[in-house]
Amino acid sequence: MPDFTAAEAAQVLADNFAPWVLALGIRVDTIATDAATLRIPADPRLCRVGGIMCGQSLASGADTAMVIALAVAQRGLKPLTTVDMSINFMRPIAGTDAVLDARVMRLGKSLAFCTCEIRSGEGGKPAAFATGTYAILA
């Protein structure tokens, strides 16, 4: 089977996520065998006081990035659901994109485990770190 491409990952995003998730403007930057890097563009509508990107946007982005990483690892999106997700916020992201680096840590037959590190588009130390467990339904 040919490698799954970033364009295919972007199509999975466009075809399968709720309109409110798509309204975040998330886009696929790059993919690897078991990973995906997505980006939430800086947008004042996603910010709270002080121009800080809100945690709800980052948490939704992390969940989305981990699902896209799973789609890449599986060479297409298979039915799944989030069982558990945890996120730790370490520093704010303000005035710049959020870059979400998601990786599949273990892909089993019925469960998958992923991580997502979120950084400022300017680089530097992580701003947030998420873990997710997904039930594979088919």
How many domains are there within the chain?
1
Q: pTM of this prediction?
A: 0.95
Angle formed by the axes of helices 6-16 and 55-73, nearest 10°: 120
- pLDDT (tens digit per residue) in 78-108: 999 999 999 999 999 999 999 999 999 999 9
For residue 122, with 0-12 CB atoms within 10 Å meaning exposed, 13-18 middle and 19 or more buried, which class applies?
Answer: exposed
Give the C-alpha separation, 86 to 81, whole Å. 15
Q: Which domain holds residue 11?
A: 6-136
Residue 1: is its pLDDT beyond 50? no
In a domain, 103, yes or no: yes
Task: Determine the pLDDT at residue 138.
Answer: 84
Task: Determine the pLDDT at residue 3.
Answer: 82
In a domain, 69, yes or no: yes
- CATH code of the domain containing 23: 3.10.129.10
CA angle 34, 18, 129 (to 5 degrees): 45
In a domain, 73, yes or no: yes
In a domain, 1, yes or no: no
Residue 40: is its pLDDT beyond 90? yes
Q: Which helix (H) or strand (E) holds 59?
A: helix 55-73
Residue 25: is its pLDDT beyond 60? yes
